[in-house]
């Protein structure tokens, strides 16, 4: 499942119509840039990997805007190549890819601009000394709160028991409200509508349970 080095990755990213070359310039203007309605959902996958989930969600909700953020160039190249290979009549037009760090999200998106955030099989950073690097740590949750709409939703899927438990505790301590919690996604009522990532297909084939949670930002003033 590890991504290999991609030769000429800068050139591939520069040539792809799906890769946003100047994401910071779109802050507060993403809906306009993507050509979606002002009231349409703007959805962000942090750590989009090779883009399977993002592409399928964009097909499922073509009226929404979809943005995939990935910090590793070679991985983003795979996502860009995937999108570029889609036939024109099936292409997800309201979709962009960004190479950036999650800590830069506040510079890329304006306050209240994002409707949904997806964290799919994020690095669990299992060592305690690395817990601040987890995408549900208190380094990141305040950023998510700022860029999300008041009725926004954060969805996490993971095979890691430790990351799931950590995320539940971290979200609760930051005032988030847990709306959905499932310890075995495939055995839950949400299995039918679930779009699998590459990792999820792999782990599910091994019979490994997948955790799911959906959380909502703290109510303003709390």
Just list the catalytic residues. Answer: 123
CA dihedral defined by 197, 203, 204, 207, rounded to 10 degrees?
-170
The two three-digit tokens of residue 161, written as one number: 């028991």
In 16-83, beta strands by DSSP E: 42-46, 65-70
C-alpha pair distances (Å), 46 with each of 49, 103, 155, 208: 9, 11, 11, 23
CA nearest neighbour of 122 among 202, 9, 199: 199
Strand partners, 182: 212
């Amino acid at each position: 499942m590890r991504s290999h080095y991609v030769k000429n990755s800068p050139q591939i990213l520069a040539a792809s119509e799906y890769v946003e070359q100047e994401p910071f310039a779109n802050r507060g203007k993403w809906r306009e840039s993507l050509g979606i309605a002002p009231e349409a959902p703007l959805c962000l996958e942090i750590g989009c990997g090779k883009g399977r989930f993002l592409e399928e969600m964009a097909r499922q909700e073509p009226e929404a805007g979809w943005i995939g953020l990935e910090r590793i160039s070679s991985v983003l190249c795979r996502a860009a190549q995937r999108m570029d290979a889609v036939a024109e009549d099936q292409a997800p037009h309201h979709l962009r890819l960004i190479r950036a760090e999650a800590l830069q999200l506040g510079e890329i998106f304006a306050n209240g601009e994002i409707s949904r955030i997806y964290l799919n099989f994020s690095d669990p950073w299992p060592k305690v000394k690395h817990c601040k690097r987890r995408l549900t740590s208190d380094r990141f949750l305040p950023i998510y709160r700022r860029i999300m709409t008041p009725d926004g939703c954060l969805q996490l899927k993971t095979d890691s028991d430790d990351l799931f438990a950590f995320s539940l505790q971290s979200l609760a301590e930051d005032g988030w409200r847990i709306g959905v919690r499932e310890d075995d996604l495939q055995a839950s009522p949400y299995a039918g509508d679930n779009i699998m990532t590459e990792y999820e297909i792999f782990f599910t084939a091994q019979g490994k349970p997948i955790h799911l949670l959906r959380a909502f930002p703290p109510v303003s003033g709390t």
